[in-house]
A and B are shown apart, each in its own frame.
Chain A
Amino acid sequence: MTGAALLPLSVLVPWVLAASLALADGRRPLVAWVSVVGIGAGFACVMGLTFAVLRGGPVEMVAGGWPEGVGITLRADALGVTFAAVSVGVILASLVYEVLGGVRSRTFPALVAFMAAGLTGLFLTGDAFNFYVFFEISMTAAYALTGYREKDYQVRAAFIFAVINLLGSVIFLIAVAALYHVTGTLDMEVMARRAAGVQPSSIISIAVAVLVAFSLKLGLFPFHFWLPAVYVGSHPPVAAILSGALANIGGYGLLRFGADVLPRELELGTAAVLVLGTASIIYGALQAISRQETAEVLAYSAIGQAGYILVAIGIGGPVAYAAAVVYAVVNSLNKALLFLAAGGRGRLVGAAFAVGAFSVVGVPPAAGFVAKLAMFRASVEAGSVALTALIFLGGALSFVYAFQIYQRIYWTPEDGKRKAGPLPARILVGLLAVLILAAGLWPEPLLVLGEAAAGVLEGR
């Protein structure tokens, strides 16, 4: 199939699936497996689209066959498809994990499908307002997923999550409206072109609003205060989806709205972005070290890891943007593996967790090494000793917390006695670990993706 057919299919398959699943009882194994097959089909479409885009350049489709600039566009470029492929992949793995262990809520498969629909739409749209709409769809699915098992503290977490995110939504919507006011369009490509001709002073406040909205919604430092509460309450596959798929919106949004649509404003804010990134890395790592509970450690680790992406975006230029993309991809795979593995027990899962921990730290041959290397290259290219030292320090700190958890979970005498969970689920976690090792041993595809995505941002 060609890219032109795969683009709408990638968005529509999870949509139709979500709407149909909502009418069925997700606890029935048949329904659960239908959802797996459906999300699998969606993933296949996104992968096909990724290859089509890498080989033949961006694919575009204007809804309703309207002339460009009038209709709403779906646009798949290397940056969008990379994030879409990783996110849907993580969602698929988490869904399979949950289905293997037995779905406990009738709405779970439908919510996961809605999440996939929202995320693919968001990464593949060329329209700022549609971006907002898809953002809300995936966020709404996320609130509902947070309250998955309906324990009191989970519902409380879902409530905090919803309130904070609605606040973020309002700020983001204001920013989109303001961008429309200044540029007279909602199409991102046209917006970028017109914003380049406007005084940066009239857009800088909008850029700040966009940054604040994304930071708030995704828990970047210093807007992270709500994040640990949500992660501690959530069920492992849900945490994997939130951290491995949903959180990608942050990196993508900053790259798209910062580096792509408002590059001059991003340049003006370089210092601020670098400071925020540095603070996140150090703060996230120190907090993670001081925490006891696994979910909490991983939540603070997520804050720290987002810092690296911020730093890369702050450095700017093709090498750093490529590093940001590679880092985001590897990070979401790591987080998916760690959260899923932390939910299980036994030797295989312990080994998988160790691989994930090595990957977070950046030890070869795990994929995290490739990501850290890309970051080092970016910081060396920028000629900054301080940044290089920071990345090294962040890695060293993450080593401490990653192995603290490992010790606490798997090095206890009771580990062997606890229930290990179903074997297929453990094998799935093992496969994820193998994937991360493979990506570290053969990093070509990852680097090609990163460079292609950075090429999109430099192409303007």
Chain B
Amino acid sequence: MTSAMTRMVARLLLLPTLITAVAILVKGYTQPGDGFSAGVVASLGVLLQLMVFGREEAEKIPGVRQAGTLAFVGLLAALGLAVWPLLLGDAVLTHYPPPGAKVLHFGTLEFITAVLFDCAIFVLVFGFVVGTVGAISRAIEDADEQEAP
């Protein structure tokens, strides 16, 4: 069992980590988002919960139990966004609106398909990391259970 201090810090850190992840998701290093980094940050936040509180507790966070499925949904969404321009006669991975065109704003958030693509990458990375570590922890638990009785 982890100490009370560790548990408190872990609990306190979860929300700020996720908010940081969302911030990176919509605004990456040089503008439009960075789904990969955001995915890594968010999954690190969740992995901390997994380490400190155990798998059962961590699975109460939405999306953690279905992480494996999420990874492939993210991959499919990203691929879909990559293929879509082909149907419109453009090169793969073309983003809309094109450079120079007027972009819809919501505060500093810009509505362009590149951000959507990053969201898909975010889901993919988050799902993969959390899913893989979850699977490993499940395998360890199974092995422990076999030894215990």
Contact = CB atoms under 8 A, between A and B. Distances in A.
Contacts of B85: 65
Interface string B62-91: 000000010011011001101101100011
23 contacts: A5-B86, A8-B92, A9-B86, A12-B92, A15-B79, A19-B72, A19-B75, A19-B76, A20-B72, A20-B76, A23-B69, A23-B72, A23-B73, A62-B91, A63-B93, A64-B92, A64-B94, A64-B95, A65-B85, A65-B90, A65-B94, A71-B91, A74-B92
A23 B130 CA distance: 17
A61 B72 contact: no
Contacts of A22: 72
Interface in A10-61: 12, 15-16, 19-20, 22-23, 61
A74 B95 CA distance: 17
Contacts of A23: 69, 72-73
B93 A64 contact: yes
A16 B76 contact: yes
Nearest to B82: A12
Interface residues of B, number: 17
Given A19-B72, A19-B75, A19-B76, A12 B83 contact: yes
A23 B92 CA distance: 25
A61 B92 contact: yes
Nearest to B124: A19
Interface of B: 69, 72-73, 75-76, 79-80, 82-83, 85-86, 90-95
Interface residues of A, number: 17
B91 A61 contact: yes
A62 B72 CA distance: 25
A19 B79 contact: yes
A16 B84 CA distance: 12
Contact of B86 (A8, A15, A19, A20): A8
Contact of A16 (B69, B79, B95): B79
Nearest to B73: A23
B91 A12 contact: no
Contacts of B83: 8, 12, 16
Interface in A41-95: 61-65, 71, 74
A12 B79 contact: yes
A358 B21 CA distance: 60
A50 B139 CA distance: 45
Contacts of A15: 79
A16 B92 CA distance: 14
Contacts of B82: 12
Nearest to B78: A19
